[in-house]
Amino acid sequence: MSLNRRRFLRKAGMVTALGLGGTFVITGLRGKVEASEYETPQQGLVAKRWAMVVDMSKFKTKEDYNRVIEACHSVHNVPGLGNPKDEIKWIWNEDYEHAFTSQNNRYMKESVKNHPFIVLCNHCENPPCVRACPTEATFQRPDGIVDMDFHRCIGCRFCMAACPYGARSFNFRDPRPFIKEINPDFPTRTLGVVEKCNFCVERLEKGLMPACVEKSKGGLIFGDLDDPRSEVRKIVSSQYTIRRKPELGTQPSVYYLVGGGDLV
């Protein structure tokens, strides 16, 4: 039996249609998602705008700083690489001159000038890192937290260039061997991914305060800036606080209380 061109094409077309129809039926049946739902956990802490106040009068000894840094870095599997070039940091010490670059006068009180400040991602209201990220790996949640979806980060580091606070670190090396004790409830990162503080979203959803706040003995105060009855709001509206580089218009959510005690 010989097929002419026309008959061959017709048959081929029929077979293709059958095949496509068949896969549609099969995937249509199998891919049907059952009636399921996704919900936010009930015990979670919620806010309109999360913010933090750093009460500098509570940070006196080296221990006061290291305790909060260690609390954060251990729950979030932050590696200790041991050299400043590759260093990964979510929360760390910075001297006044570098933390508050534009509020620096030559004859400033020595105790302020030489006193380290605790710094972290400011969870800016207008976050330049979010605008820079091409994959939306860095995004802003409705509660103001600037979070990262590590799955999406392609390591372009645009966000690092965009952040005026140096709040982001890049994994130049595989971090896993440098983590003292891995916490299985939080992922580690891989080579080529950016990371930073996430205001402990994974703890807030369980109804817990951020790890650093919990260990700060009152030095870090966390709450909803939008709520007039919250402690952070009361401090910010009744005492003198400063923020890092406010002139840039990023509207940081981390406030520094500098008149709180006798030290600064």
Partner 1 sequence: MYKGGRIIASLVFVVALLSLPFFYNMGKGNKGPVINLNTSAILQLADKQCVEPTEWMRANHMKLLLQWREEAVRMGKTEYINSQGKSFKISLQTCLHCHYDPALNTSDQFCVSCHNYTAVKPNCWSCHTWPKEAGK
184 binds, among partner 1, ligand SF4, none (CB under 5 to 8 A by kind): partner 1
Closest residue by Cα to residue 59 from 115, 119, 122? 115
The SS3 assignment for 159 reads: helix
124 binds, among ligand SF4, partner 1, none (CB under 5 to 8 A by kind): ligand SF4
97 binds, among partner 1, ligand SF4, none (CB under 5 to 8 A by kind): none
Residue type at 217 in one-letter notation: K
- Residues in region 186-245 near partner 1 by CB under 8 A: 187-190, 201, 205
Residue 127, both tokens: 């976050």
Q: Does residue 185 interact with partner 1 by CB under 8 A?
A: yes
Q: Does residue 30 interact with partner 1 by CB under 8 A?
A: yes
Least distance to partner 1, CB of residue 30, Å? 5
For tokens 């580089």, what's the residue? 245
Residue type at 103 in one-letter notation: Q
264 binds, among partner 1, ligand SF4, none (CB under 5 to 8 A by kind): none
Taking residue 91's Cβ as centre, other Cβ atoms within 10 Å add up to 24
The SS3 assignment for 261 reads: coil
Q: Does residue 123 interact with ligand SF4 by CB under 6 A?
A: yes
Backbone angles phi, psi at 104, to 5 degrees: -120, 105
Least distance to ligand SF4, CB of residue 198, Å? 10
Stretches 15-23, 35-43, 56-64, 149-157: which one binds ligand SF4 (CB under 6 A)?
149-157
The SS3 assignment for 25 reads: helix
CA atoms within 13 A on the CB side of 135: 15
195: DSSP letter:
E
Q: Does residue 184 interact with partner 1 by CB under 8 A?
A: yes
Taking residue 55's Cβ as centre, other Cβ atoms within 10 Å add up to 20
Q: Does residue 219 interact with ligand SF4 by CB under 6 A?
A: no
Least distance to partner 1, CB of residue 147, Å? 8
Stretches 85-93, 101-109, 184-192, 243-251: which one binds partner 1 (CB under 8 A)?
184-192
Say which residues have a Cβ less than 8 Å from residue 40's Cβ, sequence separation at least 6: 46, 205
User: Contact residues for ligand SF4 (CB under 6 A)?
Assistant: 121-124, 127-129, 132-133, 135, 137-138, 146, 148, 153-159, 163, 165, 167-168, 194, 196, 250
